[in-house]
Structure 1
Amino acid sequence: MRGFDTDQLRTFVTVADSGSLSAAAPRLFLSQSSVSEQLRKLEERAGVPLLTRGRKGAAPTPAGTRLLEHARRILALNDMALQELRGRVLEGELRLAVTDYFRPAEIAGMLRRLRERHPLLRLHVTVMKSAVIDATADMDAFDIGLSMRIVGTRGQAAARRGTLLRRESLSWVTAQGEAGNLPPVLPLVLLPDSCSLHQFVVKLLVRKHRHFEIAHSASGVAGLHLALAAGLGLSCLNASAIGPGVAPLDAAGQRRLGLPALPEAEFFLLPARRGEPDFIAAARHALAEQFG
């Protein structure tokens, strides 16, 4: 009995993780029609529908959810076998520092898939502020740092080009339906002042002579979401960090509140340190593949 095609399984997993065929296509380096054809053939082989498709994207059916777990294990074993034959097995302890803002709703799943793909990798993850990651890059606090920089700003992070993973828009955000209720002195909800995004927002509003106060200081992005959803004020977030109950202000709302336009944010892996072991360099490459 012929089994599943691994290319089709990889397409299925990528679509499930991306949420739509259109979002998965560039990650797979395929056209959307090719993605659709691979999924059609996989469903024919499985004998049951694996995805539901609608205006909001694609989601696994109950059968698709069951296959998804098998597919991840099959692909992980396939990748591990190839890496082992090529002498590229990642075996060792890796300390990873990740900025709060990097895909907070997805990062746990991404790390789990990294462990599945590299089962001999002992991973220690610390969530840190970008400014702290940049400031301690030359120390021994971590092996690899995943940081964020604001496009167009100067500073230490801008000088460290590193490996670019993704670019996201920044938006002014508040609780859904609360934009019209903000007072003239803007109540800001931010992370502590060690956060690079906190520093950027404060400098920007001071430069634009826009009055504000720090209404709430959250310890992490999860606390920031709670404060924003509760209607405690206004913040600035990258696209993937906008959580449930929180919405970006539209152009009219920004003009009404006198808020300046925002640039984009870049997420990147810090560059290699001088004399970095081969294991860390290989791990950096694996992280760029997994997170990019």
Structure 2
Amino acid sequence: MITTNRLKNLDLGTLRSFATIAEAGSMTRAAARLFMTQSAISMQIKRLEASLGLVLFERTAKGMVTTSTGEQLLGYAIRLLDLNDEAVGRLTSQDYEGQVRLGIPSDVIYPYMPDILKQFNRDYPRVQIKLSCANSKELKQQLKQGSLDVILATEKNPDGGGEVIGTQRLIWTGADGGNAWKQQPLPLGMSKSCAFWPSAIKALDSAGLEWIDQVTTEDFTAAEAMTAADLCVCVELGCALITGRAPIDHGGLLPALPDYFLVVYCADDTPSVTVSELMGYLQRGFA
């Protein structure tokens, strides 16, 4: 006689928590993004592991990392959640139309903005996002002139009128396994218009460390390429690293850097529904 195991159903809410932890690398950050308590999200994962009889995460010095079986489940979870969200978004969202002009500094587009924009487009398919990239100072000027509806700025001392959605420590970055940071004078690869340039120079001068400027263009991608090639070092937000660059483990040989705030500014005191919604997506995405 052939018998079959009782089929188990995966809870979508639990899968969303699981996928968010895998992306954020931390239960604390995942709970903040999902507006849940850490204890609640922890209980969800314990029940999921017990139900499947599998260990889905391992805790490392870099945070929570999926196991090999957890990585397999993650692929299924993303597909299931995408299908669920697409169905719910198409069937229940109001038929908003129009355009939202969004400004973002180029150095914080990755890794979060692609997912934020993808989710917003899924939920508001008839709202067009027009994206502009510039440094925070220029974006605030464009906002004041009426060229943009909402911006995300990186600031050490935020002005009034903005909403702080996160705080990130500046870090020294270089090529993965590189040695440029050991050179004297220190080769620095940053554009002069970068919001972090004054903090980097002040930290180096205060520490009495000599430095040279290796990048003369205002294009941030040039600094990225030079840094990834181990020709110089850079200063970036810890959340904005992409392939080719890594935090420098300098053991205190380079000076400490300050925190910077992620601040959302809106052109209108009473923004439209779509602008307000996009601001919410930014807040959750960078939590």
TM-score by length of 2: 0.78
Amino acid at match of 2:187: P
Residue equivalent to 2:82: 72
Matches of 2:92 and 2:50, distance apart in 1: 28
Matches of 1:228 and 1:190, distance apart in 2: 9
Residue equivalent to 1:155: none
What is the Cα deviation at residue 271 of structure 1? 3.5
Say if 2:215 and 2:222, in contact at 8 Å, map to a contact too.
no
Amino acid at match of 1:196: A
> Aligned in 2, Cα 1:249/1:141: closer, same or farther, shift over 3 Å?
farther
Amino acid at match of 1:9: L
Amino acid at match of 1:287: L
What is the Cα deviation at residue 225 of structure 1? 2.9
What is the Cα deviation at residue 173 of structure 1? 2.8
Matches of 2:92 and 2:53, distance apart in 1: 30
Render the CA deviation track for 1:231-275: whole Å, top value 9, x for unaligned.
222222111123434323534312xxxx4x321011111134357
Say if 1:102 and 1:267, in contact at 8 Å, map to a contact too.
no
Q: Does 2:177 match 1:182?
A: no
Secondary structure in 2 matching 1:134 = helix
> Aligned in 2, Cα 1:286/1:75: closer, same or farther, shift over 3 Å?
same
> Aligned in 2, Cα 1:31/1:270: closer, same or farther, shift over 3 Å?
closer
TM-score by length of 1: 0.77
What is the Cα deviation at residue 161 of structure 1? 4.0
Render the CA deviation track for 1:200-225: whole Å, top value 9, x for unaligned.
43455567765432112455554433
Matches of 2:261 and 2:30, distance apart in 1: 20
Q: Does 2:54 match 1:53?
A: no
What does 1:225-240 correspond to in 2, within 5 Å?
225-240=224-239
Residue equivalent to 1:172: 172
Say if 1:49 and 1:63, in contact at 8 Å, map to a contact too.
no
Say if 1:8 and 1:42, in contact at 8 Å, map to a contact too.
yes
- Report the aligned-residue RMSD: 3.3
Q: Of 251, 255, 263, which residue of structure 1 is paired with 2:258?
A: 263
Matches of 1:210 and 1:106, distance apart in 2: 34
Residue equivalent to 2:135: 129
Residue equivalent to 1:154: none
Render the CA deviation track for 1:144-183: whole Å, top value 9, x for unaligned.
11111024xxxxxx32441111100012333334156312
Say if 1:164 and 1:267, in contact at 8 Å, map to a contact too.
yes
Matches of 1:107 and 1:286, distance apart in 2: 10
> Aligned in 2, Cα 1:174/1:43: closer, same or farther, shift over 3 Å?
closer
Matches of 1:180 and 1:219, distance apart in 2: 22
Matches of 1:26 and 1:282, distance apart in 2: 17
> Aligned in 2, Cα 1:120/1:20: closer, same or farther, shift over 3 Å?
same
| Number of residue pairs matched by the alignment | 274
What does 1:98-137 correspond to in 2, within 5 Å?
98-102=104-108, 104-137=110-143
Secondary structure in 2 matching 1:270 = strand
Matches of 2:284 and 2:90, distance apart in 1: 14
> Aligned in 2, Cα 1:223/1:73: closer, same or farther, shift over 3 Å?
farther
Q: Which moved more, 1:72-81 or 1:116-125?
A: 72-81
Gaps of 5+ in 2: 1-6
Gaps of 5+ in 1: 152-157
Residue equivalent to 2:24: 18
Secondary structure in 2 matching 1:104 = coil
Matches of 1:73 and 1:291, distance apart in 2: 23
Residue equivalent to 2:3: none
What is the Cα deviation at residue 276 of structure 1? 4.7
Q: Does 2:240 match 1:248?
A: no
